[in-house]
Amino acid sequence: MQRLFVMFPDRAPGIGLLWLRLCLVAALWPPQAPGSGVWLACVAAQGLLLLGWLTPLAVPLALFGLWLQAAPWPLLALPLALFLLGPGAYSVDARQFGRRVLERGPPPKG
């Protein structure tokens, strides 16, 4: 996951990415047929996007759910934007795969 996203922006850009995830969750509001394939794809994508967890998996699910719901084409750009920008600092992905502090150990002997 860390190789997919070079950074997890915080502050204003991170809030913007959080807002993008929330807008995508709202656009995925599932249709009225619980248990159908469309409903399952939408609910799974919504759960992953709300948490910001496994974003590279959630984005294709969201795109699939929007496509099956025959969403207008501008809404299909939301998952693509999220896929290219990443989940942001306010996500589980950032906590799990975010910035690391590397400490240099003692020099090797010999």
> Mind listing the pLDDT tens digit for each residue in 38-85?
888 899 999 999 999 999 899 999 999 888 888 898 889 999 999 998
Which of 15-24, 27-36, 85-94 is predicted most confidently?
Answer: 15-24
Question: Helix, strand, coil % (nearest 5) of the chain?
Answer: 60, 0, 40
Mean pLDDT of 74-101: 87
| Mean pLDDT score of the chain | 86
Measure the CA–CA gap between 69 and 51, rounded to whole angstroms. Answer: 23
- What local confidence, expressed as pLDDT, does residue 47 receive? 95
Decide: pTM greater than 0.85: no
Q: Are 93 and 8 in contact (CB under 8 A)?
A: yes
